[in-house]
């Protein structure tokens, strides 16, 4: 049992990292993986399907994903995931924002999309020279 303790500890830490992040940071991590996959492939485009979680700090109903432009700026380019469920006055909407995705992808123009509860968002990535760009949201 003692020989498995380090492996179990690492697995629990990794699981905790996923569970304690907000919806935007979880999406940014998926973008990191998608950008790496596209960069290492012969493909020009990749469609990343993201299904947001409701817990923790996730979305419970309809939601919006917003990518701010990252081209030609040094202090801009947030990624927001907004929970649009306002039907319950006692409910505190989740979601979150991050700029972590800027380490892996470029957003040439602001993009946003609204989705119904339970719908996944599709993020279209494409190779643009040496960069991976967020081309569209569906």
Cis peptide before 56 (omega within 30 of 0): yes
C-alpha span between 109 and 66 (Å, rounded) = 11
Please state the domain extents for the chain.
22-137
Among the listed residues 36, 55, 50, the one whose alpha carbon sits nearest the alpha carbon of residue 96: 55
Q: What is the pLDDT along the chain (138 residues), one digit of tens a residue?
A: 556 655 555 444 444 444 568 999 999 999 999 999 999 999 999 999 999 988 777 788 899 999 999 977 766 789 999 888 766 555 556 778 899 999 999 999 999 999 999 999 999 999 998 999 999 999
pTM: 0.80
Please report the sign of the dihedral spanned by the C-alpha atoms of residue 17, residue 71, residue 133, residue 50: positive
Contact 53, 30 (CB under 8 A): no
């Amino acid at each position: 049992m003692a020989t498995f303790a380090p492996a179990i500890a690492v697995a629990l830490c990794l699981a905790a990292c996923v569970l304690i992040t907000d919806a935007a940071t979880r999406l940014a991590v998926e973008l990191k993986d998608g950008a790496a996959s596209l960069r290492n492939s012969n493909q020009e485009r990749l469609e990343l399907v993201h299904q947001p979680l409701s817990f923790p700090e996730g979305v419970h109903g309809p939601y919006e994903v917003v990518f701010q432009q990252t081209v030609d700026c040094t202090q801009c380019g947030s990624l927001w995931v907004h929970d649009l469920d306002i039907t319950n006055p006692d409910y505190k909407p989740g979601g979150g924002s991050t700029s972590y995705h800027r380490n892996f992808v470029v957003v040439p123009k602001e993009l946003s999309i609204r989705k119904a509860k339970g719908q996944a968002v599709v993020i279209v990535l494409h190779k643009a020279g040496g960069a991976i760009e967020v081309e569209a949201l569906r």
